[in-house]
Amino acid sequence: MGISRNIELKSEKGQIILRPPMMEDAENICDAVQVSKPELMPWMDWCRPDFSIEVPLEWLKNQPQDWEQGNNYQFVIIDIESHQFLGGCGINHINQYYLIANLGYWVRSDRHGEGIATEATKLIALFGFQHIGLRRIELVTGVENWASRRVAEKAGGRFEGILRRRLKLGDKNIDAAMHSLILDDL
């Protein structure tokens, strides 16, 4: 794809920066997950009771290769003023033929309600349209994950329906709400 990892996306509101994750982020990721486990575990397969520093270290090792191959573009969300790690967002499941992809996000629990996830979603969606050349971005959330559904709507996503057993969580599949974004929505 040829997209440089030396990219930084700044929000118009001046609240956050998105940048590709680095190995040095492992501890901050681990801390944010520990604070957020009760909210993350029902919706994020990677967040388990025994979550430890090894999980983000392993994940971080793969990021440069995924980025270089154009398979997966993950970003960390950083507070502009305090430099606090706020969460993560990314574009994955990229279909090069149809130019569509999935967009996901999470924000540490002690910073919920500040519009961070909505702003990050808009920023990374714009990245997807302008840098990857996507024509459609899908936001697939658990039907009962009301917080994530609200973020999708606030970011301009259009609700398209309920997809039966679309998301895999642990050993079961759950129904998902489908929202989509096209460039005109931003």
pTM of the model: 0.94
Alpha-carbon separation of residue 141 from 3, 117, 132 (angstroms): 27, 14, 22
Q: Encode the chain (186 residues) as per-residue pLDDT tens digits.
A: 468 888 999 988 889 999 999 999 999 999 999 999 999 988 998 889 999 999 999 999 999 999 999 889 999 999 999 999 999 999 999 999 999 999 999 999 999 999 999 999 999 999 999 999 999 999 999 999 999 999 999 999 999 999 999 999 989 999 999 999 999 998
Lateral strand order in the sheet of 16-19: 9-10, 16-19, 73-79, 85-95, 100-107, 136-142, 172-181, 158-169
- Rounded Cα distance, 109 and 151, in Å: 14
What is the CATH architecture assignment of 9-185? Answer: 3-Layer(aba) Sandwich (3.40)
* Residue where the block lists tokens 């009760």: 38
